Amino acid sequence: MSQVLHTTDTTFEADVLRSDIPVLVDFWAPWCGPCKMIAPVLDELAPEFAGKAKIVKINVDENQLVAGQFGVRSIPTLLLMKNGEVVATQVGALPKGQLANFINQHL
C-alpha cells in the first residue's frame, strides 16, 4: 500500500498546511504523462521519508481551488511546504535521486 496521501480542496489545510513535518505536494492530473512517470518514484520515496516528510498528491482536475491558490500553471508541479509556507517549487518530473535531494535540502 502506498504511503502517499491523496488530498483535496477540502482536506488540504489539515493534510498539508497544519502538518508538523515538511510536506511535498504533487499537483497532478490523470492525463499528464510526466505525472504518471513520477508517481512510482513518489511511491518509493514516501516510506523512505516516513516521519521526516509527507508526500501528498492533489488532482488539479478535481481540486482547482488549491491549485489556483498556489498559482499552479503546469503539471506536475511539486511544492515543498513547511509550517504552511512554500519553501521550494519544482515544475516537471525529476528522477528519484534528484527528487530525494530536493526534499532533503529542506528538512
Range of the domain at 36: 5-101
When divided into structural domains, the chain yields a total of: 1
Which entry of 16, 23, 32, 103 is annotated as an active-site residue? Answer: 32
**C-alpha cell recorded at residue 101:** 535531494
21: its cell numbers? 513535518
Cα–Cα nearest to 77, from 18, 2, 63: 63
CA Rg value for the chain: 12
Classify burial at 1, counting beta carbons within 10 Å of its beta carbon; exposed 0-12, middle 13-18, buried 19 or more. Answer: exposed
| Annotation says 31 is catalytic | no
pLDDT, tens digit, 9 for 90 and up, residues 1-44: 569 999 999 999 999 999 999 999 999 999 999 999 999 999 99
Residues 41-83 have pLDDT tens digits of 999 999 999 999 999 999 999 999 999 999 999 999 999 999 9
Instruction: Tell me if the pTM is above 0.85.
Output: yes
Question: Is residue 106 a part of any domain in this protein?
Answer: no
Q: Is 49 annotated as catalytic?
A: no
Is 107 inside any structural domain? no
Q: Which amino acid is residue 23, in one-letter code?
A: V
CATH number at residue 81: 3.40.30.10
66 part of a folded domain: yes
